[in-house]
Amino acid sequence: MNLETPKKFAMLVEQAHQVALNTLRPISRKYDKAEHAKPVELDMLAALLDGMNAGSSQTVGAVSTGAGATSTETSGVRNGANMSAVLSIIEMCWGDVGLLLAMPRQGLGNAAIAAVANEEQLQRFAGRWAAMAITEPGAGSDSAAIRTTAVKEGDDYILNGEKIYVTSGARADSVVVWATLDHHVGRAAIKSFVVEHGTPGMEITRLEHKLGIKASDTAAISFVNCRVPANNLLGSAEVDVKKGFAGVMQTFDNTRPLVAAMAIGVAKAALDRTRHLLKSQLSNDYAHLPLQSSFVEGTLDLLEAEWEAARLLTLKAAWMADNKQPNSKEASIAKAKAGRVANDITLKCVELLGHIGYGESELIEKWARDSKILDIFEGTQQIQQLIIARRLLDKSSSELK
């Protein structure tokens, strides 16, 4: 079992670390205090981030997961776009998770397009920055309960509804919107549509004020008789009761490991900085027995063990995606573990550092605030546990609620 970082990604990881250290960290506090201000320094990094995909034209999710792959497709071992994205995101979020989310052309909607779009759509939307709009005022963790409608009219679909908590919703070029073709059919009728900014009927109604990740804009968007070309519906327009919702849900199998990677990155930042600030009180001798350690040393050792477990679970989920293996359970395990661990680590680091951890002279308190969202969006801790239980027990969503 090889747990080493693939050699071909060594330069990628170092490059991402240098960006985090020399670009993101220095402006981290600036944009934490200047919420909704556009981080103009990130524009010059967009081209660099575009290349962080294993040196190929693939993007995250382009190597789709699932049991339908042929033996030829699954032969050999691949470390591709999903693995490279996870490794680079860990390093970038060691710098600043909010700024990573604000990076041009790196939206979660891009992963949705890669996971569901056909070949023509992949080419047409290449290079676009896409946000992802799922959550609604009456539909949060239960994505199947969305009420935004899409009605076919000639060569277009007419969208009506409201989306909230859309990450990069105001700055992205377009938004991937989840809507239902028919309320009576249920989950199978839910499809995703690419809606470009400037489309009549689409309006940004507000930007949220948040606890953390303030560098990233979070928008509420309304759709009133918004006309979208039919060829902007991602994947097939057919309503298949057996597979329809599974197609769009596959997006999460690719994006949840990315959110887990964000959590791992910010948790590592907190651990590293805490050890540095407490170095005069720590022996750094892992050879002695835990009972001989100080409270601070013992606590940090336990936190590092939890962090390593979350990291390996995340790498496994990404590796499975690259190798066309069904990873829904593993993606949820990684996201649940990493989200909780990041919360625990950052808050404990604030506690261990006392007034230093609580003050704005250090970024520790900011990382504690930033980490909370990573246990909430892309599915809460409770939702991930429900998904894991369904996979382990082989139960459907109607059988296990």
State pTM to two decimals.
Answer: 0.90
- Does position 63 have pLDDT exceeding 50, yes or no? no
**Average confidence (pLDDT) over 365-376:** 97
Q: Which of 216-225, 229-238, 275-284, 392-401 has the highest mean pLDDT?
A: 216-225
Which pairs count as long-range contacts for 300-303, CB under 8 Å and 24+ apart, including other chains?
A: 300/271, 300/274, 300/275, 300/352, 303/271, 303/344, 303/345, 303/348, 303/349
Mean pLDDT, range 119-131, rounded to an integer: 92
In Å, how far from its chain's centre is CA 1?
27
If pLDDT is split at 50, 70 and 90, which confidence band does 141 have? Answer: confident
Which position has the higher pLDDT, 336 or 400?
336
For the chain, the average pLDDT equals 88
Looking at residue 76, what is its pLDDT?
Answer: 67
Catalytic entry in 4, 238, 378, 399: 378
Spatial contact of 377 and 302, defined as CB atoms under 8 Å apart: no
Pick among 3.40.50.970, 3.90.600.10, 3.50.50.60, 2.40.110.10: CATH of 130-232 = 2.40.110.10
pLDDT attached to residue 143 = 72
Over the Cα atoms of the chain, what is R_g?
21
The residue with tokens 């040393």 is 297
Q: pLDDT-derived band of residue 247, with 50, 70 and 90 as boundaries?
A: low
Q: pLDDT for 264-305, tens place per residue?
A: 999 999 999 999 999 876 766 656 655 556 888 889 999 999
What pLDDT is recorded for position 154? 96
At residue 144, the pLDDT reads 72
pLDDT at 115: 80
Q: What's the whole-number mean pLDDT along residues 235-258?
A: 74
Q: Which of the four pLDDT bands, split at 50, 70 and 90, describes residue 44?
A: confident
Average pLDDT for residues 217-234, to the nearest whole number?
97
Other beta carbons within 10 Å of 78: 18
Residue 54 binned pLDDT confidence (cut-offs 50, 70, 90): very low
Give residue 51's pLDDT. Answer: 57
Which amino acid is located at 107 in the chain? G
* Predicted confidence (pLDDT) at residue 248 exceeds the cutoff of 80: no
Indicate the pLDDT class of residue 45, thresholds 50, 70 and 90.
confident
Give the per-residue pLDDT at 313: 97
DSSP 293: S
What's the pLDDT at 40? 92
CA dist 235 and 363 (Å) reads 43
pLDDT at 53 over 80: no
Above pLDDT 70, what percent of the chain?
Answer: 87
Q: How far is it, in rounded angstroms, from Cα 93 to Cα 45?
A: 15
Q: Give 145's Cβ-side CA count (13 Å radius).
A: 10
378: annotated active-site residue: yes
Determine the pLDDT at residue 9: 94
**Residue 204 φ/ψ, nearest 5 degrees:** -80, 115
Say what the pLDDT of residue 49 is: 61
Task: Pick the more confident residue, 3 or 40.
Answer: 40
Domain map of the chain by residue range? 7-124, 130-232, 251-393
pLDDT band at 254 (very low <50, low <70, confident <90, very high): confident
Listed range (201-205, 207-211, 288-292) with the worst mean pLDDT = 288-292
Q: State residue 55's pLDDT score.
A: 44
Q: What CATH class does 7-124 carry? A: mainly alpha
pLDDT at 136 over 70: yes
CATH fold of the domain at 251-393: Butyryl-CoA Dehydrogenase, subunit A; domain 3 (1.20.140)
